[in-house]
């Protein structure tokens, strides 16, 4: 993967005073040959597909692919694609961990283990 540090680089121009911080939050996954343009935040457990170019903040649990990267879905903490809509409301239970997730007002909340056993 590639992290940039200057938004508008030029090899002949020194721009060290223009470095921008990029934040990668807990559990985020970045695929091979993906590029993160500086100054963005990659949310918790977000998933960036191989070769994607991310040029804006990414919500927690978002699945991002393409150039430029677009959100095409959501991923669980276990790395499973969640059957949740991009907009609206919904719930999902990971078949591997039993953990539940709730989508409300565009935000995913981890609900913990929902197994009764």
Domains and CATH numbers, the chain: 2-82 (2.160.10.10)
Strands (E) across the chain are located at 2-3, 23-24, 29-30, 35-36, 41-42, 47-48, 53-54, 62-65, 70-75, 81-82, 90-93, 99-104, 107-113
The reported pLDDT for the residue numbered 116 is 53
The reported pLDDT for the residue numbered 78 is 95
Positions in the chain whose pLDDT score sits under 50: 117
The reported pLDDT for the residue numbered 7 is 82
77: nearest Cα among 89, 65, 94, 52: 94
| pTM, 2 dp | 0.89
**Interatomic CA distance for residues 92 and 80, integer angstroms:** 11
């Amino acid at each position: 993967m590639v992290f940039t540090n200057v938004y508008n680089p030029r090899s002949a121009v020194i721009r060290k005073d223009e470095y921008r911080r990029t934040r990668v939050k807990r559990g985020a996954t970045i695929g091979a040959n993906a590029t993160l343009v500086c100054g963005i935040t990659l949310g918790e457990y977000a998933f960036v597909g191989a070769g994607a170019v991310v040029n804006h903040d990414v919500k927690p649990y978002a699945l991002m692919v393409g150039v430029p990267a677009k959100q095409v879905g959501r991923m669980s903490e276990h790395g499973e694609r969640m059957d949740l809509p991009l907009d609206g409301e919904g719930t999902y239970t990971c078949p591997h961990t039993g953990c539940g997730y709730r989508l409300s007002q565009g935000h995913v909340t981890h609900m913990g283990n929902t197994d009764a056993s």
